[in-house]
């Protein structure tokens, strides 16, 4: 299987969230990689046989967008609770 290297920036809130997922001795890059791989295996949106790289890129983009949406929602909820105190 051919692999590709990815490089992108994430907002501080997402980085902090990913840091919370880190396993002992795991780098932030390894945590992010593990999260994406585990999320893709859990997704029912992934077809069993992907035919092109474009399909994979689009699916990863959708998964990341969905995950970021969930993180943003959770952060807004936490901010609301923090302000209410």
pLDDT value of residue 55: 67
- Each residue of 25-67: pLDDT tens digit? 999 999 999 888 888 876 555 455 545 455 677 778 888 888 8
CA–CA gap between residue 73 and residue 57 (Å, rounded): 24
Residues in CB range of 63: below 8 A, 6 or more apart: 36, 39, 40, 43, 45
- Each residue of 19-29: pLDDT tens digit? 999 999 999 99
Cβ count within 10 A of residue 17: 19
Q: Domain map of the chain by residue range?
A: 48-85
CA–CA gap between residue 51 and residue 55 (Å, rounded): 7
């Amino acid at each position: 299987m051919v692999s590709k290297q990815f490089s992108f920036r994430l907002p501080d809130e997402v980085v902090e969230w990913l840091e919370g997922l880190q396993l002992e001795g795991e780098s932030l890059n390894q945590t992010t990689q593990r999260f994406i791989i585990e999320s893709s295996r859990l997704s029912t949106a992934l077809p069993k046989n992907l035919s092109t790289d474009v399909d994979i890129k689009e699916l990863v983009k959708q998964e990341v967008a969905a995950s970021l949406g969930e993180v943003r929602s959770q952060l807004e909820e936490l901010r609301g609770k923090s302000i209410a105190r």
